[in-house]
Amino acid sequence: MGIKTVAIHSDVDANAVHVKMADEAVCVGPAPTSKSYLNMDAIMEVIKKTRAQAVHPGYGFLSENKEFARRLASEGVTFIGPDTHAIQAMGDKIESKLLAKNAKVNTIPGFDGVVKDADEAVRIAREIGYPVMIKASAGGGGKGMRIAWDDEETREGFRFSSQEAASSFGDDRLLIEKFIDNPRHIEIQVLADKHGNALWLNERECSIQRRNQKVVEEAPSTFLDPETRRAMGEQAVALAKAVKYSSAGTVEFLVDSSKNFYFLEMNTRLQVEHPVTECITGLDLVQEMIRVAKGYPLRHKQADIPINGWAVECRVYAEDPYKSFGLPSIGKLSQYQEPLHVPSVRVDSGIQQGSDISIYYDPMISKLITYGSNRAEALKRMEEALDNYVIRGVAHNISLLREVIIHPRFVQGDISTKFLPEIYPDGFKGHNLTDLERRELLATAASLYVAEQLRSQQFLGTQRIPVAKSKRSTWELSVRLGDGIYPVAVSKDGSSFSVEVDGMKLNVTSEWNLASPLLSVTIDGTQRTIQRLSRNASGDTSIQFLGTVRVMSLRSDTGLMLLEDVQGCFCLRSSQLLAYKLQILTKVAAELSKYMPEKAAEDTSSILRSPMPGAVVAVSVKPGDTVSEGQEICVIEAMKMQNSMTAAKTGKVKAVHCKAGDTVGEGDLLVELE
């Protein structure tokens, strides 16, 4: 659009992508959000210094802060978003619910005032009837939200929600409403101008969530029929017009199994998941927001808004999905390669190779979007894109994302906000191999092992050393997978390997470029993209197969290859649970391996370790205290989400190794019991 830009950043974001893309960049403070991205005084000073004429607030922080919009207006600076009245009316969940009722929008039964304390929260919850949803009045993005099924959970939810709300939004007011069990989360994108025109740009299905935060989104929804879509769109537009809304905004609904829909909230900002709407409508929402802020009328009528094709978005997070479907991971992105070579793929990211994922901000790495003429095509491209996404240095949730999009229930469109806990009641454990996939894994790993051995015999770049060609063309290996031991025979034929597993022969073909992070392997005509994640001088290497990370130890002198599923993490830790183990041995090594002692697992019942990097908010015990199983020991805050750490058994506290305000890393010892 030819508009020059100024980026603001905290000191830890000095090398961020948005900083490098902007024409100018100014630091507004240290890492904590209250001292940088929420520091209105510092931001206003930058606006005056750079003579900025308009501000786009992005997705979070001050994007829905009416005071910030008011201060901009007082300085004659355009806020690229709605006016202060609409922000206050829709940004406050209590006021927005009252306005929605007056605009004839379906609403969820609940308490329409501000909840004063935990006792009042319990009283209100009993009146509404359990279960209830406790959430921040000024909140969004899943922060400051808790589901309570009884009085005890209501008191705990009130405490955590108010603390998270104060930390994230500077406003600890809470509301309580009836929790609709097993709903879909479907939202309507609206676009309105300053001339009284408003459109609904179809829906987005956002039901795949963890901790009330969206993980996978798509547009359109498989669930809505044209009549329901139109009814939801018309109510969303009615609400926007009721508050004289002007900009892009999103009206969120909960939809039950009978297609009854209820107003949840309105986000008066650009949504993270807006690209899927752009894909199916052809509109650039950011451009439209800028045009509306400048005073131009909308260029489109409701009849002009199409649904062309299907789009899916996966939120790629620096998280360990094997811990509560995703606890944050921090570190430096040592290698990063987006799958832009896959057709119809879009990647919106704010990081690059070498970027740091810190404890201070949301752990999102990127939004991965695929588009197709239909849903099946979009999902197939997403599967390919996830397999081709290279991320090194931090744990990530690609294994979970891949499992979600290929799950039969998701493919059929049979989803709700409870999808993850229903499908994985004991937590996410990684990909569960079928018999065919097990044979493919064995054949691929054995072929990779042989390819590595053959490469180690080559001398490149010199003609002075005579090298006799190896006449060996077959390898007999013993493979241990879980509790089973399988004989595997590998024969080389040109660039291909013939591998016999379970009495069946598989043909494995690849270019075997072992220096590339991506390796395309064809197994009996089935193409798989695997990733060689790392390899060191001792021969240790790791690969990613069907989205799940497996770690191998290769020792060419003994022919040993150890392959372990470490559930999406990049280093072995004694506290991690292994899904299954694969060993490839020569016959001699297989005989000797039975004499190798196994290291005893650490007894974790008497110790409490931090499951994630973060800051200690509170410690509830001291040495000598007696605690009960399930009792809260301390609270860890990571990426503005608070997590209660509890005792694994009843006992007496032996030692406390942390205090409020401490920064802890993943695996750090917090408390010991006798």
Query: How far are the Cα atoms of 81, 83, 202, 292, 597 from residue 244, in angstroms, in the given order?
Result: 12, 9, 20, 13, 72
CA 322 from centre of chain: 12
328 close to 363: Cβ distance less than 8 angstroms:
yes
Whether the link from the prior residue into 363 is cis, omega within 30° of 0, is no
Helices (H), 178-284: 226-242, 274-281
CA 514/CA 530 separation, integer angstroms: 11
Closest CA to 135 of 43, 265, 39, 274: 265
Structure token digits, residue 99: 């306005």
Checking 531-534 for CB contacts under 8 A at 24+ apart, the result is: 531/387, 531/390, 533/392, 533/570, 534/392, 534/570
Backbone region of residue 141 per phi and psi (left: phi > 0; alpha: psi in -120 to 50; beta: other values): left
Among 164, 177, 217, 265, the one annotated catalytic: 265
Structure token digits, residue 460: 């490149």
Has 164 been annotated as catalytic?
A: no
CA 479/CA 561 separation, integer angstroms: 9
378 close to 309: Cβ distance less than 8 angstroms:
yes
The structure tokens 């308490």 sit at 111
CA 597 from centre of chain: 39
Q: Tell me 625's DSSP state.
A: -
Backbone region of residue 317 per phi and psi (left: phi > 0; alpha: psi in -120 to 50; beta: other values): beta
Closest CA to 190 of 99, 116, 292: 292
Checking 597-606 for CB contacts under 8 A at 24+ apart, the result is: 599/574, 601/574, 602/574, 602/575, 604/575, 604/648, 605/648, 605/649, 605/673, 606/648, 606/649, 606/651, 606/654, 606/672, 606/673, 606/674
CA 499/CA 490 separation, integer angstroms: 5
CA 186/CA 667 separation, integer angstroms: 37
CA 625/CA 228 separation, integer angstroms: 57
Structure token digits, residue 94: 């209590």
Provide the annotated active-site residues.
Answer: 265
